[in-house]
Amino acid sequence: MRYRTIGTDPAHRREVSVLALGAMLFGSLTDEKTSFAILDRYAEAGGNFVDTSDNYAFWTDGSQGGHSEELLGRWRRSRGVGDGIVIATKLGARPLAPGTSYVDNAEGLSATTIREAAEASMERLGVSRLDLLYAHIDDHTVPQRETVEGFGALVTEGMAGLLGVSNQAIWRVERARALAAAAGLPGYEVLQYQYSLLRPRVDVPSDLFPDGSLGHAGPELFGYLRAEPTLTLVAYSPLLAGAYAREDKPLPSDYDHPGTPARHAVLRAVARETGATVNQVVLAWQIGADLPVVPLAGASSVAQLEENLAAVDLELTPDQRARLDAAH
């Protein structure tokens, strides 16, 4: 396994594996035995960066979520897992009531909610501190200063280590970080957005993002990363939920544009040249990027995890990387 540093403060920065493990469906669609086997193998391989959220996976049974955090807590206790495993979780998008959705009934990012949600996550995970805590979605009903101060207080009090943000407009991320800096408080240092080799249209509206998706990494985010080299991008859904390799997993409609076939063709060609799978090429392409990118890939079986782990040692040539970058 290889590692990279996230965070800048010596008291909180961590060395994490270059491949993160998504635990979104652990304890719900992925049963406990399988989830434990995947986590065991990941840790055995040197993986130490596991991602979850307080709302995972509410949509599987109409609940408010918490399945994944609870399972990770049981795994930690049963295996005697200590500080060597960095667990990242998120708050803000947990439905306020069973049978509802974060789209119109999310817990939000008030100072009170941030504290209560963080305490609940700590209890489910069985930890005394949250290694990395994200704002899962934005909350325009709360003054941004209140949100920034709420997260900063958790770090100051030792309840959280690093702070991150996901699915927010980049101008809102920069404003939050500026507010934190002006107040002498810790700010967001890890950005989690959806990113893969194939790129979607970002102007397609949805219920959550009426002006177009804010969840996808685009030119504005990458420009921001180049201007702020201490930040790290954690790229969720790098394998597009299996769409690269499985015919029963079609690409979403926002990937239906002329750039998709061209990128796909280069990807398949590089996979043939390397003898690797297309999934491994995508992960290796992200791991070896010139910007700090940590792919966050889930797995529903140990076999899937093994395929992903092999990407850590896959070295693409400069020519292969240039062709993948240039395809459009």
Residue 206 has pLDDT above 90, yes or no: no
Distance of CA 48 to the CA centre of its chain: 14
Q: What is the pTM of this model?
A: 0.96
Q: Considering the domain boundaries, does residue 291 fall inside one?
A: yes
Residues paired with 89 in a beta bridge: 133
Distance, CA of 131 to CA of 51 (rounded, Å): 11
- What tokens were used for 64? 């408010």
- pLDDT band for 95, please (50, 70, 90 cuts): very high
User: 217-239: per-residue pLDDT in tens?
Assistant: 989 999 999 999 999 999 999 99
Segment among 92-106, 119-133, 205-219 with least mean pLDDT: 205-219
User: CB count, 10 Å around CB of 120?
Assistant: 16
**The predicted structure's pLDDT at residue 212:** 73
Q: Considering the domain boundaries, does residue 276 fall inside one?
A: no
Q: Considering the domain boundaries, does residue 262 fall inside one?
A: no
- What tokens were used for 4? 């990279």
Residue 116 has pLDDT above 70, yes or no: yes
**The predicted structure's pLDDT at residue 61:** 96
Q: Which CATH number fits the domain that encloses residue 120?
A: 3.20.20.100
Q: Considering the domain boundaries, does residue 323 fall inside one?
A: no
Mean pLDDT of all residues belonging to the chain: 95
For residue 155, what are the domain limits?
3-256+282-317
- What tokens were used for 96? 């306020």
**Residue 240: phi, psi to the nearest 5?**
55, 45
The rounded percent of the chain whose pLDDT value lies above 70 is 99
**The predicted structure's pLDDT at residue 214:** 79
Q: Considering the domain boundaries, does residue 267 fall inside one?
A: no
User: 263-322: per-residue pLDDT in tens?
Assistant: 999 999 999 999 999 999 999 999 999 999 999 999 999 999 999 999 999 999 999 999
Q: Considering the domain boundaries, does residue 261 fall inside one?
A: no
Amino acid identity for residue 13 in this structure: R
Total number of residues shown for the chain = 328
**The predicted structure's pLDDT at residue 328:** 84
Q: Considering the domain boundaries, does residue 273 fall inside one?
A: no
- What tokens were used for 99? 């049978």
Q: Count how many domains the chain has.
A: 1
* CB within 8 Å of 66: residues ≥ 6 apart: 54, 55, 56, 94, 120, 124
Q: Is 194 helix (H, G, I), strand (E, B) or coil?
A: strand
Residue 207 has pLDDT above 70, yes or no: no
User: 155-200: per-residue pLDDT in tens?
Assistant: 999 999 999 999 999 999 999 999 999 999 999 999 999 999 999 9
Burial 131-170 (b: 16+ CB within 10 A, else e): bbbbbbbbbeebebebbbbbbbbbbeeebbbbbbbbbbeb
User: 237-255: per-residue pLDDT in tens?
Assistant: 999 999 998 888 888 888 9
Residue 204 has pLDDT above 80, yes or no: no
Residue 209 has pLDDT above 80, yes or no: no
Q: Considering the domain boundaries, does residue 152 fall inside one?
A: yes
Dihedral sign computed on CA atoms, order 50, 55, 57, 59: negative
